[in-house]
A and B are shown apart, each in its own frame.
Chain A
């Protein structure tokens, strides 16, 4: 189905402005996406008419806000095709979701000598929590290497797995390279060794249909702000039986059933992991973001973005000196590249002056930059409101950069 792009773009107020005297071309969607009016309105409506603390008031507003917040949890369940709403834990983002799992498993599962496997193309947020977990528990971190193509070395992964492997985690799509990892196979292999597995879906959920039941990962997490929702909200999906066995994360209100000075009994899922007043407005914004994605159609979004990426790759390939960082057969959402002899900082600065927003630098994935021996890359990442005409503007910008620094 062809998308009505004009209609989609009309829903994003931020797109309709000039930056440095040029129409904004926003290609930094892997960092955060823009928000449609329905998300902005839902948040404004909450503060204008519905603001109240949730889960504990008997008054009208508290009930209203609670219903809306819990409706967001149901929307996420639907988006992920999760078995039950109890499996949907709200966090501040992907980073907190990963830290939650790392922290709780450090206190309940990891023992000295256990092995935790991550990949060489993880975001810092899926590296550092595991380093901390290893430091505290005595477990050992193992890293799946990446091939020159930007794909994970699956033979090396198989060789790393053994009876000491307690945990495996990889991203579904690499934020630095755009590589789509074969997570179905990675999950099955981890389970065959009896290890738990977490998938960082931060770059997947905005761009593709995710079915957590079909995937069968033990944990799956992502951030709302990369999928047209507000910042400060993320989701951890976990299998109920595993979440139930895990100790709680933050202690506080909301996550308890009964508190005495002798001891505390913890609340049921999902509240056990949601200590403190949550980001209520954010949750309500997420519900609108899910509706936006459903209205456009998650598959339509995926197909259209694949078309944009293919077009950008085709145009970039025509430019002399473009060096792709990562050329996996299966990639999505973004392209990471450099221009021969030109520092990404210089290129990004000039593109900014032309109204084009891309990301330059190490993309919070320094080990990836070291592996490919580059100081950083230029990354253009797409969302459903981007157009081929914008890619043409971007390509013209690259020519300008080459002219200035070449």
Chain B
């Protein structure tokens, strides 16, 4: 699936929910599904620090594509991290760089990407693109 198709799929999933409680319960479920970051990658250099919660991000080059694994110490953040990984994982560097993320807005979780949240997600997206750029150059 392309990045756009995955985003549309996520939007469709969230359309089923009537209120924030259901959305958050779903994020909690997703957080449990996120393949845990290998302990050996849970290094300080992989931490994206926010003042509220932390995100760990690891990326590996696989041909033209990028493999991402990530984790967070907060469950809601981790649920959103799971969605971001679902969208970008195993995609081509070029596509990662060219496709903007619109699903977060569309599913009503935009507030988690605001500056005040300081949960590491904004920096995480930047870092995901940075890896894509770096791997593309190599």
Chain A positions near chain B (C-beta within 8 angstroms) = 20, 343-346, 348-350, 353, 360-362, 375-376, 404-405
- Please, what's the 1-or-0 string for B103-129, where 1 marks a CB less than 8 Å from any CB in chain A? 000000000100000110000000000
CB within 8 Å for A375 and B73 given contacts A343-B53, A404-B25, A405-B28: yes
- Please, what's the 1-or-0 string for B20-61, where 1 marks a CB less than 8 Å from any CB in chain A? 110011001000000000000000000000011110000000
Q: In this assembly, does B11 line the interface, its C-beta being within 8 Å of a C-beta of chain A?
A: no
**Chain A contacts of B119 at CB under 8 A?**
345
Q: In this assembly, does B10 line the interface, its C-beta being within 8 Å of a C-beta of chain A?
A: no
**Chain A contacts of B74 at CB under 8 A?**
343-346
CB within 8 Å for A346 and B75 given contacts A404-B24, A404-B28: yes
Q: Is the CB of A375 within 8 A of B25?
A: no
Q: Is the CB of A376 within 8 A of B52?
A: yes
CA distance A344 to B74 in the complex (A): 8
Among B28, B53, B112: residue with most chain A CB under 10 A:
B53
CA distance A348 to B73 in the complex (A): 14
Q: Is the CB of B51 within 8 A of A362?
A: yes
Q: Is the CB of A375 within 8 A of B54?
A: yes
Q: Is the CB of A353 within 8 A of B20?
A: yes
Q: A346-B74, A349-B24 are in contact. List 5 more A-B contacts (CB 8 A).
A: A20-B20, A345-B77, A346-B75, A346-B77, A353-B20
Q: Distance in Å from the Cβ of A161 to the closest Cβ of chain B? A: 33
Q: In this assembly, does B87 line the interface, its C-beta being within 8 Å of a C-beta of chain A?
A: no
Q: Is the CB of B24 within 8 A of A343?
A: no
CB-CB nearest in chain B for A405: B75
CA distance A404 to B27 in the complex (A): 11
CA distance A360 to B74 in the complex (A): 12
**Chain B contacts of A376 at CB under 8 A?**
51-52
Q: In this assembly, does B70 line the interface, its C-beta being within 8 Å of a C-beta of chain A?
A: no
Q: In this assembly, does B81 line the interface, its C-beta being within 8 Å of a C-beta of chain A?
A: no
Q: DSSP majority for the A interface?
A: helix
Q: Distance in Å from the Cβ of A122 to the closest Cβ of chain B? A: 17
CA distance A405 to B54 in the complex (A): 18
Q: Is the CB of A350 within 8 A of B24?
A: yes
Q: In this assembly, does B85 line the interface, its C-beta being within 8 Å of a C-beta of chain A?
A: no
Q: Is the CB of B53 within 8 A of A375?
A: yes
CB within 8 Å for A361 and B54 given contacts A345-B77, A346-B76, A405-B28: no
**Chain B contacts of A349 at CB under 8 A?**
24, 76, 112
CA distance A404 to B77 in the complex (A): 15
**Chain B contacts of A344 at CB under 8 A?**
52, 74
Q: Distance in Å from the Cβ of B27 to the closest Cβ of chain A? A: 10
Among B54, B74, B77: residue with most chain A CB under 10 A:
B74
Among B20, B51, B112, B119: residue with most chain A CB under 10 A:
B51
**Chain A contacts of B54 at CB under 8 A?**
375
16 contacting pairs across A/B (C-beta < 8 A): A20-B20, A343-B73, A343-B75, A344-B52, A346-B76, A348-B52, A353-B20, A353-B21, A353-B24, A360-B52, A361-B52, A361-B118, A362-B51, A375-B73, A376-B51, A405-B75
Q: Distance in Å from the Cβ of B68 to the closest Cβ of chain A? A: 21
CB-CB nearest in chain B for A360: B52
**Chain A contacts of B20 at CB under 8 A?**
20, 353
CA distance A338 to B41 in the complex (A): 28
Q: Distance in Å from the Cβ of A132 to the closest Cβ of chain B? A: 21
**Chain A contacts of B24 at CB under 8 A?**
349-350, 353, 404
CA distance A114 to B1 in the complex (A): 65
A361 touches which one: B21, B25, B51 (CB < 8 A)? B51
Among A346, A353, A362, A405: residue with most chain B CB under 10 A:
A346
**Chain A contacts of B112 at CB under 8 A?**
349
CA distance A343 to B78 in the complex (A): 11
CA distance A20 to B73 in the complex (A): 26
Q: Distance in Å from the Cβ of B37 to the closest Cβ of chain A? A: 16
CB-CB nearest in chain B for A343: B74
CA distance A20 to B21 in the complex (A): 12
CA distance A376 to B52 in the complex (A): 7
CB-CB nearest in chain B for A350: B24
CA distance A124 to B80 in the complex (A): 30
**Chain B contacts of A348 at CB under 8 A?**
52
